[in-house]
């Protein structure tokens, strides 16, 4: 009988410790969110974060162009991974440009939206070509053309620092 009470006390202590640890974790999480909010709203940091965003968009654009240029004319085992890399870079550019325009797609210029949609269409077409084991030359040319158009738009809207 005595051991049942001891076990109940141990369980009660474990539950208390768990609640204390969860409380501490919650306090740290809230403090981190407040600090992040303060940092992102600070004008001095805002310009620095804008530069960081520009650099990141530029890196993604260069990575996407590089991966697109490495795609061969015929379907190989590497083609799918290169198309996947381009898709990842396009998605990153899509999300980073949304951040530049307050996270709202409606705030982003329509021509920039249209080019990103064209790139997603090219990637879908690439997936179809890969499945059918056809030549990738036509799709690769369109993808490269749309990436160049995206680069021009990013420069026009000062989203890259070339």
Q: Tell me whether residue 161 is in a domain.
A: no
Q: Tell me whether residue 162 is in a domain.
A: no
Q: How many domains does the chain have?
A: 2
Q: Tell me whether residue 78 is in a domain.
A: yes
Q: Tell me whether residue 13 is in a domain.
A: yes
Asked if residue 132 and residue 58 are part of one domain, the reply reads yes
Contacts of 86 (CB under 8 A, 6+ apart): 64, 67, 68, 71, 123, 143
Q: What is the pLDDT of residues 43-92, one digit of tens each?
A: 444 455 568 888 899 999 999 999 999 998 888 888 888 999 999 999 99
CATH number of the domain at 121, please.
1.20.120
Structure tokens at 142: 């369109």
Q: What is the pLDDT of residues 87-124, one digit of tens each?
A: 999 999 999 898 888 777 788 899 999 999 999 999 99
Asked if residue 151 and residue 76 are part of one domain, the reply reads yes
Closest CA relative to residue 119, chosen from 152, 156, 94: 94
CA terminus-to-terminus distance, the chain = 78
Q: Which residues constitute the domain of residue 103? A: 47-156
């Amino acid at each position: 009988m005595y051991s049942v009470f001891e076990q109940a006390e141990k369980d009660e202590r474990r539950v208390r410790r768990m609640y204390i640890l969860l409380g501490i974790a919650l306090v740290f999480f809230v403090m981190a969110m407040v600090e992040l909010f303060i940092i992102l709203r600070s004008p001095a940091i805002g310009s620095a974060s804008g530069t960081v965003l520009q650099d990141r968009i530029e890196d993604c654009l260069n990575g996407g162009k590089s991966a697109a240029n490495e795609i061969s004319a015929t379907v190989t085992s590497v083609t799918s991974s290169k198309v996947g890399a381009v898709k990842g870079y396009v998605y990153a550019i899509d999300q980073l440009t949304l951040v530049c325009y307050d996270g709202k797609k409606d705030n982003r210029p329509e021509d920039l939206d249209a080019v990103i949609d064209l790139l997603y269409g090219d990637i879908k077409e690439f997936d179809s070509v890969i499945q059918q084991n056809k030549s990738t030359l036509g799709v690769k040319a369109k993808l490269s053309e749309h990436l160049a158009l995206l680069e021009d738009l990013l420069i026009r809207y000062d989203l890259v620092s070339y």
